Structure 1
Amino acid sequence: MIVTVTANPAIDRTLALPHELARGDVQRLTGSESQAGGKGINVSRALRASKLDNLAVFPASADDDFTNLVEAEGLRMLPVPIEGRVRTNFAITESDGTTTKLNEPGPHLSADEADALVAAVIAASRDAEWLVLAGSLPRGLDSSFYAALIEAVRAELGEAAPRVAVDSSDAPLKALLASGTRVQLIKPNAFELAELSGIADGDALEADPQLAADAAGWALENGADAVLATLGGAGAIYRDATTSLFAAPPPTRVRSTVGAGDSSLAGYLLASVTGAPPERALAQAVAHGSAAASLPGSGVPSPEQTRPDLVRITHLASSTKENAS
């Protein structure tokens, strides 16, 4: 079983345009949809589509529109009551697959609400294989929250604590890696990995898998046991202490990139819980992400829609020095 935590959930509203977005003009949509979102929820949705048991934990009142959307979708959930309302995020998708995102700020969580969220995660994690901490943090939670949450889970559960995967960015991810709290996996995209490692150009990492793998070495030295970094349409790299891999995706007609990275993480976890080696887990991650990108809106693929057999795996050098030798 996998537990996902979405500390700053959102109602995702996707607006589809039949052409390029024209700023300042009135434009007609070809469609719109609303669904419960946030990175952890997206991971839970992708896991459920592959029939892997999971539980989504998030702060929201029982009567919040967000909670109602999660319930209507049939996701297993553990909402933690708060006073504020869940935010709405907007994604504008163009005909060529270009996506523009507009995110509202989240509610402000009180200290008591934060403590209740920690307690709920500990309780949910007792039988979990993985604990996934995904997305940004709402107002009221310090950037050190993820590190404190992981330590609280491990203090309570000891050796029974689940492995931890983190898909976040900016201050929360930097604070976690600076805290000394180790995690089994982080899943940045190329631009987040560039920021972490002090490289100015995320585009350069997307274009050069070896450079991305080299950049991932910084995270290995600063709290991560492994890095799964998505490189947009180019695929993804995986790196741990002994393995450095690049996976190129099968040909894909991109319809929407919303949630594709979350589906990649779900694909990795699906393979991981079966004991798959890194090569197979990375192939499933890229297959899931590519299949998600071929679907409209924030759709998630079924196992039948993924083609890990068409993903091309290449072994990379583990460091720049090795690559030059």
Structure 2
Amino acid sequence: MILTLTPNPSVDHTLEVDGLVRGEVLRVQATRAHPGGKGVNVARALSGANVPTRAVLPVGGGGGAELTALLGDLPRTTVPIEGETRANVTVAEADGTTTKLNAPGPVLSPAETRTLLDTVEDELTKGPDWLVACGSLPGGTPTDFYVRVARLASHYGVPLALDASGPPLVEAARAGSVTLLKPNHEELEELTARTLSTVGDVVAAAREVLSWGNEQALVTLGGHGAILVDDTCSWWARGPLVRARSTVGAGDCALAGFLSEDGPPDKGLARAVSWGAAAVSLPGTTVPTPDHVAAHETTVVAEPDPHQRIDTL
């Protein structure tokens, strides 16, 4: 069973337009609303593939009620808060370009933050196979929140996968004890404070991050695939080119694919890229089903050419 934690979930509204033109009145071709937040997306993708999962998330106000309704029968433990669960807007253009407008979300009180951590700890006592902690932090939450989560996971012997950005990612990565870090290209550059232009740059940066006490790094590269690095080897994988409808949630689905089954690292990487490619081909934050994923076969290369530029992969 895979437990997910989403400190700042959302209701994601997607508007599909032919093209986004500032200052103009545009005709929307389709609208969609999905439950959102990175950990929520991971849980939805896993549940759709019949992988046992449970989502932990705070909810509040009318937005929280809408989110709860959209989650349907997804197994979950919710933490009531006084603030309003945020709503995000994505504008998806016909050529696959997506523009995201992410609201900041509620402000959690210290007591609410403590209750959220206590809820995670209670779920950890039940022995999940993974804890997946994902996404931005709501206001009022200390930037070392994910460091605290990592300590809880370590205490209960549960592997931790972390997908975050900014100071919360930096603090957790430098504190170590993360089993699987899932930065994208830009986030890995932020972590190591340098430009990463080649495969060798990415692998070296990932190894630096692992030297801080972490075990694996799954670096997603958008349309250029993904690179997986541990202390012994590195792998690069890419799926077939697909017509992109929305990139929102693709990295979350890639993480879900990686964690969906036990097995060797290269097989997990292949699943990650397949699930991510399937997600990109779907509208809004729709998560792929196994039927969608089956159409996206991948190629995996062990110890890829370090001189290969990322933008030419």
Q: Tell whether the structures are fold-level matches, with TM greater than 0.5.
A: yes
1:266-308 alpha-carbon deviations (Å, 9 max, x no partner): 000002xxx2100100000000000110111111111122148
Q: Is the 8 A contact 1:242 1:318 kept in 2?
A: no
Q: 163, 167, 188: which one pairs with 1:193?
A: 188
Unaligned ranges ≥5, structure 2 = 308-313
Q: State the alpha-carbon separation in 1 of the partners of residues 65 and 233 from structure 2.
A: 40
CA distance in structure 2 between the aligned counterparts of 1:308 and 1:295, rounded to whole angstroms:
13
Task: Give the drift of 1:46.
Answer: 0.4
Structure 1 Cα separation of the partners of residues 40 and 296 of structure 2: 27
Q: Does 1:298 align with 2:285?
A: yes
> What residue identity is the alignment partner of 2:173?
L
One-letter code of the match for 2:6? T
Instruction: Determine which of 218, 221, 235 is the counterpart of 2:225.
Output: 235
Measured after TM superposition, the shift of residue 310 of structure 1 is 2.3
% same residue: 40
Cα distance per residue 1:75-124 (max 9 Å; x no partner): 11111111101011111100000001111111111111111001100111
User: Cα distance 1:139–1:309, how it changes in 2: closer, same or farther (>3 A)?
Assistant: closer
Deviations 1:113-145 (CA, angstroms, capped at 9, x unpaired): 111001100111222000000001111111101
Corresponding residue for 1:26?
25
> Partners of 1:135 and 1:242 in 2: how far apart?
28
Q: What are the within-5 Å matches in structure 2 for residues 261-276 of structure 1? A: 261-271=251-261, 275-276=262-263
Structure 1: which 5+ residue stretches go unaligned? 321-325
Once the 2 structures are TM-superposed, how far is the Cα of residue 255 of structure 1 from its aligned partner? 1.2
Cα deviation per residue 1:250-279 (whole Å; 9 max; x = unaligned)?
2312111111000000000002xxx21001
Deviation at 1:319, TM superposition (A): 7.8
Structure 1 length as normaliser, TM-score? 0.89
CA distance 1:67–1:285, shift in 2 (3 Å): farther
Q: Secondary structure at the match of 1:96?
A: coil
Give the aligned residue type for 1:33: R
CA contact under 8 A between 1:264 and 1:285: conserved in structure 2? yes
Q: Which amino acid aligns with 1:222?
A: W
- Matching of residues 14-163 of structure 1 within 5 Å: 14-18=14-18, 20-61=19-60, 64-72=62-70, 73-125=72-124, 126-155=126-155, 157=156, 161-163=157-159
Instruction: State the AA in 2 paired with 1:165.
Output: A
Counterpart CA distance in 2 for 1:154 and 1:80 is 23
Q: CA deviation at 1:195?
A: 1.2
1:6 maps onto 2:2 in alignment? no
Between the aligned partners of 2:249 and 2:7, the Cα distance in structure 1 is: 17
1:220 partner amino acid: L
The residue that corresponds to 1:178 in the other structure is 174
Paired residues of 1:286 and 1:308 also in contact (CA < 8 A): no
Partner of 1:323: none
> How many residues are paired up?
305
Mapped partners of 1:105, 1:268: distance in 2: 29
* Separation (CA, whole Å) in 2 of partners of 1:252 and 1:108: 39
Residues 67 and 107 (structure 1), Cα distance of their counterparts in 2 relative to 1, 3 Å cut? same
**Distance in structure 1 (CA, Å) of the matches to 2:234 and 2:65:** 40
Could you tell me how far apart the structure 2 residues matched to 1:141 and 1:226 are?
26
Residues 204-283 of structure 1 aligned to structure 2 (within 5 Å): 204=197, 208-271=198-261, 275-283=262-270
Offset at 1:66? Answer: 3.1
2:91 counterpart SS class:
strand
